[in-house]
Chain A
């Protein structure tokens, strides 16, 4: 299977079973460049597990995940990140004891090895990039605030910012607006639209109103399998999707 694809991310026949239970079962998923894809589905559909497999946290039982035609299955997590895949976790994972500036600074893709880390100095390009990203994620005024003092929504933004520092080509966000106020959701939707050009974004989200605002294409998972895929309008009118997910 060494044919080339123009897709940024090509997932084929992806399967993982935990003690015989197939959490993801023969999934095919293709993400184009500059695309913002939303994955929806009921609890236990395998959404987070798919992201776990892409970023190397969980090893698939079978199938392939190719990113820019490079097989990711079997690569160590940090190599996958360095290849250009960024992942935001479901609960905001930031460093509470570091300031916003430092949180962004340690996410800068230089000095990741131990020796490079020791030799790392805060040069002008680092500072410039931190300020630029902080502006994008609405935290420019809070650079010296410790992470612990941020609101829940601001922590979500900070984690997105930490990913942006790495300039990933594929950005995966697990429920980025959970716990955000209506105003914050609106700002986040704007942010996501702004950062999509030049990269692809995969988002897991439950808030359908938010999904319809941002998604280029929606994928519906159910019991580890692909149930439907298409534009928001197509998905809304798909009887199978209404039955298992949107109906209630």
Chain B
């Protein structure tokens, strides 16, 4: 039981962090926000999956990817493909020249469903694909790059190019992908209407549950040998390599893991928002996701989630009143994070804790010393490393 807490929940500190986050997501926000706002939070949380992936890849693994939108998009498109097929049954598409295929295909004079779409008639296949397709793409790219020791800035630039390529590719193949408009007008998931308020609530809670589950899983990974290896690699890659490890495969793994998480996020985004388009795949969203992780603290799983929520909420609230100014704010925020607090909010929080805890301890000690009672000393949580 104790090892369970240590490994899955990140010890006492991780348990507290997890409880606070769960309370906020599952109780506080649903009780205080309207369905519209809660649905927005749900949408932000789907980006938090990408931020979690970036913590593993960038914060822990030391590899910055500026193309995580690609994997978010791939996951999203896999989900949207299934939903679109379900929405395009022959009855509701009876007025098309070819009934039974998605509307945008009909507009593009397609006469039959493309072969690529056919497997997505199956829900289990589609759900698996939302995780496996991004992982597979990440594996191919990661293997090709990391085996050749491409890293650092070069890797970041290549992933950025990838984001551009995929968004242009989707844009240019209107008949297959819905083009710039994306895949819209999604209605039901296996007969269950995803547009009702009731469904929005349920999908919000499903997103929260999956997010918390992912945190627990990642904490398990990080608390084991893998966490130590990632730390060791970011510090002395050569020493790890000359201790018999194939460092490139660890990077490939981190990249695939980050891609799989992004894919889950993308699929949940589609379910909650009801559409996907190339604008969620390209360079701008990919960089936004990096900013989420950076603001929250790239080394902290919880930090990444708070960072995503705060920056996304800031974006929505701010751009409602000053749409022109938001991009400047975002840029300024990123510069501020890099220059002033490189460990993000989590780093600030840790610093604060390091100052307050000793002060509290001193106060307790002096309070205990003065009346000379026989009370056992109260244990203060020991500060060990950064929160994860």
Report which A residues bind B (CB closer than 8 A).
55, 57, 76-78, 81-82, 86-87, 89, 93-98, 102, 105-107, 109, 111-114, 117-118, 120-121, 159, 162, 166
Contact = CB atoms under 8 A, between A and B. Distances in A.
Rank and list the top 8 A-B pairs by shortest CB-CB distance, nearest first: A81-B244, A120-B225, A93-B239, A95-B232, A114-B253, A78-B246, A82-B244, A117-B225
Given A78-B246, A81-B243, A107-B243, A93 B236 contact: yes
A114 B250 contact: yes
Given A57-B238, A98-B231, A102-B228, 11 more contacts: A77-B242, A81-B242, A86-B242, A89-B238, A95-B235, A109-B244, A111-B225, A113-B249, A118-B226, A162-B239, A166-B243
A20 B231 CA distance: 39
20 contacts: A78-B241, A81-B243, A82-B244, A87-B242, A89-B239, A93-B238, A95-B231, A95-B232, A95-B239, A98-B231, A105-B228, A106-B225, A106-B228, A106-B229, A112-B245, A112-B246, A113-B246, A118-B224, A120-B225, A121-B224
B149 to A, nearest CB: 11
B265 to A, nearest CB: 22
Interface of B: 221, 224-226, 228-229, 231-232, 235-236, 238-247, 249-250, 253
Contacts of B239: 89, 93-95, 159, 162
* Most central of A55, A82, A117, A162 by chain B CB within 10 Å: A117
Nearest to B225: A120
Nearest to A56: B242
A166 B235 CA distance: 20
Given A89-B239, A93-B239, A113-B249, A98 B228 contact: yes
Contacts of B250: 114, 117
Contacts of B229: 106, 117
Nearest to A165: B243
Contacts of A94: 236, 239
A98 B232 contact: yes
A213 B66 CA distance: 55
Contacts of B236: 93-95
Contacts of A82: 244
